[in-house]
Every structure is written in C-alpha cells, then in structure tokens.
Chain A
Amino acid sequence: MALDKPYKDVPGTTIFDAEQSRKGYHLNQFCMSLMKADNRARFKADERAYLDEWAMTEDQKLAVLARDLNRCIALGGNIYFLAKIGATDGKSFQQMAGSMTGMSEEQYRDMMIKGGRSAEGNRYIGEDGDAQAHHQPQGGKKD
C-alpha cells in the first residue's frame, strides 16, 4: 500500500524521509566522518581516494566532487550532513543554501536581508513562484 507523502508536490523541496535516508545512508555517513579533523585532512588531500573508502554510488561520489548539493540531496543526502562538506570547504550555511537556488551568493544574501523568499507561488508544483523548476537554471526538482 502506498505511504502517505503529501509533501511530494512542494516545488524545489526534497523531504528527507525514511526512503531518502535509506538511499543516502553511506553518503550521509561519509559526511559525518568529516567532523573529525584527521578525516577532513585526508579528504582534502585526495577527495576521490577518500570517497572510494565508502560504499557510495558513483553518482553520489561525482555529486560530492562537483559540490552539487541539489544532486546530493536527490541522491539521498540531507542538508545537515552535507553541511559537513561545506564546513570542510570553509563555507557558511548561507553560502551552501544559496548554492542550491541558482542565485549568486550576493543575490541570495540580498534576498534574505529583504525578508527572504516569498511562499507566494511556491507552495505547489505548477504555480509560478521563483522556486519553480521553470524559473530555475538547474531544472527539475527530483530525479
């Protein structure tokens, strides 16, 4: 029987549920490992070699190497875990969040100072808000 997932029709949003968590287990645990300074150093020294120590899919590894956070999330990543990659790179949470929106860092920061992104047009897929796929350079919201 189908599970109740009413959040599938929210644009630009992937809810990290049990299914996503299952897909992203090794990706997220890799991120978790970056909380240790030694692991951060090893990852920075040879990212590919470090990623190959984890039972991640090739797609997940490529998404990490490209720092494509939207792709990481589609493949089961969770933002609080992915933030450890950002911390390793010296990026703030705002820089990471902004990188997923198709905006420059400055545009995103300005949007937040002006009160953030409006919910108008961004509640359901198919409306006309700025987070809808047809207004986003990176295209569709999910795989």
Chain B
Amino acid sequence: MAKITASVYTSHVPAIGAAIDTGKTTDPYWVPLFKGYEPSKSWMEASKPDVIFLVYNDHATAFSLEMIPTFAIGCAAEFKPADEGWGPRPVPTVIGHPELAAHIAQSVIQDDFDLTIVNKMDVDHGLTVPLNLLCGSPDAWPCPVIPFAVNVVQYPVPSGQRCFNLGKAIRKAIESYDEPLKVQVWGTGGMSHQLQGPRAGLINREWDNAWLDKLIADPAAAAAVPHIEYVREAGSEGIELVMWLIARGAMDDVAGGPAPEVVHRFYHVPASNTGVGHLILENKQ
C-alpha cells in the first residue's frame, strides 16, 4: 500500500522564483533565504518520494473569474509552467500521476469533499517555486507531482477546519492505494503578507511563529483558527495558510499515530512582501 512519509510546508513567493530565474540567489538580499532551504534540499535528496501531492493556489493564472473551484485536483499526465505575464518560468514540465490522482478523487469525493477534477491546467509559481526550493533547478523534477489547487483568492475561502478534515480524507485515500508508493504531502503559501490597500506590507513575525508552534504540536487548534484572525494578524493574503492544514491533516498523529519528527524549521523576513515560513515533518517509520 502507498504510505505518506512526510509533509513539507513552505511559502511560495513569486519573487523567489524570479530570483532563481534571473540568477540572483547569491545577492545579499536573497542569501539568508536560500541558506534556510539548504538542509531541505539535502533531506529531499535522501528522502526522495515516489509522488508529491502538492497543495497550492492558482493566482489568477489557470483560473480566471470564469470558474472558481474551491478544491481542484490535477489528474492530467502533465502540467506546463504557466505564462503569468512575464513568459513561462524556465522550469521543467510537471509530470503528473493520473492513476493515483484519480484514486484520490474517487475516495475523497465519496468522503463528501466535492473536488473539481482538472484534466488540463497550467501551473503557476504557487506550485513551481516550492519545487525549486526543495529540489533546486534540475532538468526534470525528481518525481511525479499531483497539483491540488485551493481557492484562497475569492472569499469565502474554505475554513481551516475544512482543510484539516480534507487532509484526513486525502490520507485515507493515499493509504488505500495498492502500489507501495512513498508519498509526500506539501502545503504551500503564506505566511503573513498583505499585498493590497494602505495596509500592504503587513508582516507578523510573532503570530507566524506562534502559528507554526501550534501547527506542529496541536494541529487541531491551528485548524480552529477562524478566517478573521488570519486577516487581522497575518494580512489579507495570510489566509493562504489554510492550505498548510491540508498537509498537516494527512499526517499519522492526526489518525492516532505517533507525533511527527520536526526535521527542519525555518523563518525569514522578508521575501519581497512576505514572511517566509518553512517546515518539514516526517512520520515515524
């Protein structure tokens, strides 16, 4: 049977992608950020999964206002890097895992989460920046990736509790898949940032770190945080953090197993307008 080995959490700031694409990773501004991901890259080399289930959000790229799915699972064989207005990022095409994705869709929908199934979709920086941060800039990504897009652009976005519960259903789906695949579940976006209005630039280091503590040790409490607290404390775009709860809900301890090991934790301000958080949690073998 397939097994969830670990979960990874990271911000997916577009400027990080731009820094990689324009060779600025050694600029003094960016050095501390990329240094924080060095241990993650080594870990990734040593703990390579067979599939990554990657929770992210589309930023008015694949989904305009014509259609706004709350939860969309990518079931295609491949996903091209999107042209977000500056030309597509020079990163590899993302290879999907249609069989596992279809299996997850079937199981999760039967568990009352009404997913939108997407068979054709370009993927934006929300998905490709986390892959760069953990995998560097290879000619091909190290394994297939199932993109899972969450609407966090138009309110109301799904609650933290619903995302956490969805994570539990995704865990059940993955662990009932017959092939012995090692699967990682990633939650991306956040942490505190606000990109709009006179309050743009809001960062809340204390709140971010307290939320990380909670996510690690008491995820049910993190899931209970209402939307308005994210808006007030972490900025209007800080709401992206609900996506981390999907990954956290898929871990062993939530289903009665042992607490995960904290392999790596990193926090840095700023990357462009954003407080960057990063966490790797590993299930005990």
Contacts and interface: CB of A to CB of B under 8 A. Distances in A.
A32 interface: yes
B273 A28 contact: no
A34 B155 contact: no
Interface string B251-281: 0000000000000000001101101000000
Given A116-B269, A119-B233, A79 B195 contact: yes
Given A18-B155, A97-B273, A34 B85 contact: yes
A57 interface: no
Given A18-B154, A28-B65, A13 B197 contact: yes
Contacts of B237: 79
B158 interface: no
Nearest to B153: A80
A61 to B, nearest CB: 18
Interface stretch (B101-109, B177-185, B199-207): B199-207
B270 A35 contact: no
Interface string A61-100: 0000000011001000011110110011000111011101
A12 B14 contact: no
B204 A119 contact: yes
Contacts of A100: 196-198, 200
A15 B236 contact: yes
A81 B60 contact: yes
A134 to B, nearest CB: 11
Interface string A18-32: 100100010011011
B201 A108 contact: yes
Chain B's interface: helix, strand, loop or mixed, by majority?
Answer: loop
A78 B199 contact: no
Given A80-B59, A84-B85, A115-B269, A10 B201 contact: no
A16 B154 contact: yes
Contacts of A133: 198
Contacts of A12: 197-200
Contact of A141 (B15, B198, B236): B198
Contacts, number: 159
A117 B199 contact: yes
Contact of A92 (B15, B192, B228): B15
A119 B184 CA distance: 34
Contact of B201 (A14, A87, A117): A117
Interface size range of chain A in the complex: 35 or more
A9 to B, nearest CB: 9
Nearest to A124: B232
B61 to A, nearest CB: 8
Contacts of B205: 115
Given A28-B60, A81-B60, A93-B15, A21 B154 contact: yes
Given A15-B236, A94-B272, A141 B153 contact: no
Given A100-B200, A117-B203, A119-B202, A93 B154 contact: no
Contact of B84 (A35, A94, A113): A35
A119 B155 contact: no
Nearest to B59: A80
Nearest to B82: A35
B231 interface: yes
Given A112-B273, A115-B203, A115-B269, A93 B195 contact: yes
A126 interface: no
B42 to A, nearest CB: 29
Interface string A30-41: 011011000010
B64 interface: yes
B83 interface: yes
A4 B39 CA distance: 44
A13 B60 contact: no
23 contacts: A6-B227, A6-B228, A10-B199, A12-B200, A13-B231, A14-B196, A18-B154, A28-B60, A35-B61, A35-B83, A78-B154, A79-B237, A80-B153, A81-B60, A93-B14, A93-B15, A94-B15, A100-B200, A101-B200, A108-B200, A116-B269, A122-B202, A141-B197
